[in-house]
Structure formats: structure tokens, C-alpha cells
Amino acid sequence: MPSWLTSVMLGLLAWTVVAVPITLLVARFLHLSGSSPDIGEKAAARAAAAARQTLIPESARLGRETEMLRSPRILIVDDDPALRMLLRTTLTAEFEVAEAADARLASDLARLWRPTIVLLDVAMPGIDGLSFCADLKTKPAFGAPLVVLLTGAEVLETTAAHAGADALLRKPFSPLELVSVIDRLTGADAVEIATELEGEPSEQILLFARDLGRLVEIERGQRRVVQDAYRETVTALANALEAKDSGTRVHSLRVRHYATELTTAIEPNLLSDPSLEYGFLLHDVGKIGVPGEVLRKRGPLSPSEWALIQLHPLIGLEMLGNVNFLQGEGLKVIRSHHERWDGTGYPDGLAREAIPLSARIFAVADALDAITSERPYRHAASWEAAVAEIATQSRLQFDPNIVETFVREKEPLHRLQALAEEAA
């Protein structure tokens, strides 16, 4: 083939590779913008203005694949800036939210951002909400979002439905009512919440304030449910340990009561950390990593077996170190409850005040229950014998100030022992 012909063919091929994508891109742009480049330029300018004025989330410019994984997008269209602010504040925690003051700006934003739901005011300057609702539902460029019409006027349900609206809310409306409508439209699990109060507030802001108080009440109730679930889970884990280490029976529950009572007498502020109670219950959870035959051995432990036992605080820390509700005093108890005042304890060999106070308190409570309970390696001692033995270990195993408080508070602790035995 002549060299000039080869050059011509390569030139045509290169032009095709470059020109075809450009032609398709231009055709797509013209299709979206109307019918002429001039109209397309205006649409692009309006879109840029809408992006600046409506605070489009940064993530809106990512690819369509990522869009499918995002939270539902809500576009608020209302000429009342105060209402837009209330709606944005209500919805931002759960949804991606953008806003526009009129249908023109909303139109450009909806083409770019493809919202899941549009909250649309009916009475707006320029294009009214009913007309814009019909456009959103019928023009493919908008992606047929769900539309909730907001109105303070007498708009019939049939009129809203004829425009294509999926729901109609009359102003002033409750934010909980709005969230309930959104849940229904998106198929989310809705929680039935009674919000009826005597009298009907005439201002939108009063409705939001009323529901804010109700939401705080609900959140507190849900927090209590979660805390109860934490406690039940922790107790189940402690019981699983005791099923393995059969000699301890309900050791974790008893020692929690003792430690809580002692902490109240010594430093009650420690109890404001909710992790502390969980640390009391789970102090020996690391024994799950110790063979059962070592835990239940009736005779003296060999050096290697004793080394395994000494690992259990670190095993427990490794197991629970990333659990959020144990961060704080709870993890300190798990790690340091076998440290000794004289520095001969484990796993870190800490001494005196270097041992966390919560762990020093717990060490006395733990020893009290160990001495008064049946263990594979020793019979239970009397309460009086336990008090005497702990007293002799003051300044050796235990903090002397804590021992002094323990001796002073021994009767309330003794009553706790009787109650725990009855419960068992």
C-alpha cells in the first residue's frame, strides 16, 4: 500500500476516534438544554448559580455508582427561608439535603442532583408548585422524584394528585408528621408517635418546638433501652465465663455489688462513668482464653499454668479494648484489678497510686468474694475471716485507705452478700 494512502487512513482513523465522542457529548448537551447552544449556555449558567445558592453537598458531584449507596436526597423548594432552615435542620441528620427558593433554581438543581424526594411549596413566585410538580413527574430529565406538596392554602387532595404529588402536607405541619410521610414514601420503618396536645399552635415554629421536646423524651427512652441491652449482653457474657469456671457461680454479680458499694463510699464520682459497672462485671472475661482444666484445677498451679492465669487481664483487654461502652474506668478495672499495692501484682507490676483508683477499689471487692465463696482450690471462709484477712493485706496487696473504708463499711457489704445469695 502506498505510504501516502496509509497516512490518509491513519489520519481518518484518528479523526474518528476524537470526533465521535465529541459529537456524542455535544449532542447530549444540546438534548438536555433544549435545542440550541445558546439555550444550553443559559441552562449551564443557571445550574452554576443554583449550585452556589443552594449549598449542593460536595458528594453530589460524584459518580452515579456512588449515588446508589447514599442516603436519600431531599430537595426543599420554598420561598420562605425560615421554613427552609427548619426543614434542613430537621432532616440533615438522616438525609442529604439541598434547598432552592423557587422553581427555576430547583429545576436546574433537580437535573444535576436527582433528588429522591422534593418538598415543594405550592404558592411560590414565578412557577407555582402544582405546575412544577407536574414537570418533575413527567419530564425524564428530573428522574421522577417523590413529591410532597406543602401548602397553607385550600388545596384539594384531588388537585394535588392530579399534579402528580405523592403526598400533601398542610402548613403549619409537625416535623414528626413530615418524617412519617417521608418514611411511608421511602418504605422505611416508621415509628408511631403520639403528638396530640391540647390546643393547636398557629405558628410553624411552635410545632417544631413542641416536637423537639417530644423527640428529646423519645431519645432518652431509647437510650435507656440501649443501656439495658448493653447490661443484659454483658451479664450474659459474664455468665458464659462462669459456666466455664464453674467454681465462681454468680461471682461477677456479687462482686459488682460489693465494688459499687465501696466506690460509693470512697469516690462516688467514679460511678458517673457508665463503663465502670461493665468493667466490674467483665473483669475476668479474659479467662475465656485460659484452658478450663487450669481454671478448675484443685491442686497448686505449675509455673506455666500460673503464667497462663496471669495473662487473663491482657486477654480481656485485647477482647474488649475497642468496645465503645467500656472505654474509661471499665477497661482500667479489666487490666489492673490484679495489681498489688506493693508492686508485685500483674500484668504491669504497678504500685501504689500508679494503680487506677477504680482497680484498687475493685481488688478489695474481688478478694472479699473470692475468700467467702467456694473455689476448686479452697473452701469458703466466714465473713469475719475474710475481713480479717483483707485487713492483714493492707499496704501489701491493698491500698490502706480503701481497706480502712472497707472495714468501716463491712456491715452494708455483708447485707449485700445475703441478698445476692437469696437471688442466686
Contacts of 68 (CB under 8 A, 6+ apart): none
Contacts of 164 (CB under 8 A, 6+ apart): 133, 134, 136, 137, 138, 147
Looking at mean pLDDT, say which of 52-66, 194-208, 331-345, 366-380 comes out highest: 331-345
Task: Identify the pLDDT of residue 222.
Answer: 67
User: Which grid cell sits at 5?
Assistant: 494512502
pLDDT at position 284 is: 83
Q: What is the mean pLDDT of residues 313-328?
A: 83
The span from the CA of 369 to the CA of 406, in Å, is 13
Q: Is the pLDDT of residue 344 over 60?
A: yes
Mean pLDDT, the chain, integer: 75
Residues in the chain, total: 424
Specify the DSSP class assigned to residue 121. Answer: E
Domain 49-193 bears CATH identifier 3.40.50.300: no
Say if residue 411's pLDDT is above 50: yes
Cis bond leading into 347, ω under 30°? yes
| DSSP-assigned letter for residue 140 | G
Taking alpha carbons only, the member of 163, 160, 178 closest to residue 74 is 178
**Predicted confidence band of residue 415 (pLDDT cuts 50, 70, 90):** confident
Instruction: For 262-299, write each residue's pLDDT tens digit.
Output: 999 999 999 888 889 888 888 888 888 888 788 777 77
DSSP H helices, 341-380, are 357-372
Amino acid 24 reads L
Angle at which helix 175-186 crosses helix 81-91, to 10 degrees, equals 60
What pLDDT is attached to residue 95?
86
Q: Is the pLDDT of residue 179 over 90?
A: no
pLDDT at 331 over 80: yes
Separation of alpha carbons 66 and 206, rounded Å: 38
Sequence spans of domains, the chain: 49-193, 218-423
Higher confidence at residue 286 or residue 174? 286
> Hey, how many other C-beta atoms are within 10 angstroms of the C-beta on 87?
22
**Which range, 28-32, 184-188, 417-421, has the best average confidence (pLDDT)?**
184-188
Query: What is the Cβ-side half-sphere exposure of residue 217, based on CA atoms within 13 angstroms?
Result: 9
Which stretches does DSSP call E strand in 78-195? Answer: 96-100, 117-121, 146-151, 167-170
What's the gap between Cα 145 and its chain centre?
A: 29
**Domain spanning 218-423, CATH architecture:** Orthogonal Bundle (1.10)
**pLDDT exceeds cutoff 90 at 19:** no
* pTM (whole model) above 0.85: no
**75 and 53 in contact (C-beta within 8 Å)?**
no
Least confident of 174-183, 224-233, 372-381: 224-233
**Treating both helix axes as pointing N-terminal to C-terminal, what angle do 103-113 and 37-53 enclose, rounded to 10 degrees?**
90
User: Are 390 and 262 spatial neighbours (Cβ–Cβ below 8 Å)?
Assistant: no
Residues 263/276, Cβ–Cβ less than 8 Å: yes
For 169, residues 6+ apart whose C-beta sits below 8 A from its C-beta are: 148, 149, 150, 151, 177, 178, 181
pLDDT at residue 86 in the model:
83
Distance of CA 157 to CAs 1, 132, 183, Å? 75, 17, 20
Q: Which three cell numbers stand for residue 99?
A: 434547598
225 vs 413, which has greater pLDDT? 413
Torsion of CA 318, 319, 321, 325, to 10 degrees: -170
pLDDT at 25: 37
